[in-house]
Structure 1
């Protein structure tokens, strides 16, 4: 397919071509379509053009490397979220590394720091999703998934029936998953230890 034709294709079509065919031209078209927008996002957060370029490049490389098993419905939202996620990790990593004597830290300890940074980001992101839920729904999710309370304990605490707890839980988790899928975060979170709480 010629480049001109690909330029007129929707993101969804390009993503399918990338996922199913490993189509390099489709990938390049998506790259060209979003590069400047993503660079602007990264630069606004980092104020360092070189680092911003590196992060955007890594996001696209990751997309290509994971093309066969990644589910992305909205390319723009997914890529923007992935860039913000990467920026956050870099900022947090640098902050934490300043408090560590790197000469005395092995690769395994550095990996543990990276895992902790990622976990922190995910918890903060999910906390933001909880705040957007209806109040009772958010409370039930918080008690169930964060505090690990049973449905009976939640029902007693909130003075509601266990069936009502189950209803809030089902509704809340459904909304969270839908939000994660729409934003593209679902693909970023599935490997996380925190994510199992919201399955």
Structure 2
């Protein structure tokens, strides 16, 4: 049976979580645990590791709730899974030659990554707001809300080809208008979306 709180949007849940409401955390957990676990398991097929990663993400969400600036809860959680799995893989034991290669790859601290990503996200959001309304709507559904092209076409009652063309137009615009310092992050993000 659905309660009034289970019908809350992600934004409403986030607002209550930021205000310290303990009743919404289990709702967020119930809404996303299975999806996050499935996503982690698709990347790294180890039950225990995937369970631990998802637990760590929820612990982090709870601990940082009051200071977080999350714009899209689902995208944030999925991105967190991807980063945690990547960090876990990096922490695995390798041969000494493999370790030397890994150590030679620069890896910025989490705080630097967080600041860079926040700047990048702000830059992307400001450019996305400049897209024509229909193009912006389709791009947001695709890249921020994780809708498939066919789901977008069905939702907006347009052809899949139109969806593909609008996404292509949005990506071209972003590639052209994003600052050079953010371009590597844009390319990485686009590859991870595929």
TM-score by length of 2: 0.53
Give the secondary structure class of the aligned counterpart of 1:23.
Answer: coil
**C-alpha distance in structure 2 between counterparts of 1:100 and 1:64, whole Å:** 38
* Residue equivalent to 1:78: 76
Distance 1:86 1:117, change over 3 A: farther
* Residue equivalent to 2:144: none
RMSD of Structure 2 on Structure 1 (CA) = 3.5
Superposed counterparts of 1:78-157, under 5 Å: 78-94=76-92, 97-99=93-95, 116=107, 132=171, 134=173, 136-137=176-177, 141-142=179-180, 145=181
Superposed counterparts of 1:1-199, under 5 Å: 4-20=3-19, 22-94=20-92, 97-99=93-95, 116=107, 132=171, 134=173, 136-137=176-177, 141-142=179-180, 145=181
- Please list the CA deviations of residues 87-109 of structure 1 after superposition, one character each: whole Å capped at 9, or x if unmatched: 11111222xx42459xxxxxxxx
**C-alpha distance in structure 1 between counterparts of 2:95 and 2:108, whole Å:** 14
User: How far 1:137 sits from its partner (Å)?
Assistant: 4.0
- Please list the CA deviations of residues 94-126 of structure 1 after superposition, one character each: whole Å capped at 9, or x if unmatched: 2xx42459xxxxxxxxxx99x82767xx6xx97
- Please list the CA deviations of residues 116-148 of structure 1 after superposition, one character each: whole Å capped at 9, or x if unmatched: 2767xx6xx97xx8xx5555546xx33xx38xx
Of structures 1 and 2, the larger Rg is shown by: 1
Runs of 5+ in structure 2 lacking a partner? 98-102, 125-170
Runs of 5+ in structure 1 lacking a partner? 102-111, 147-171, 184-199
Equivalent residues of 1:89, 1:117 under 8 A apart? no
Equivalent residues of 1:89, 1:118 under 8 A apart? no
Give the secondary structure class of the aligned counterpart of 1:68.
Answer: helix
Q: How many residues end up aligned between the 2 structures? A: 123
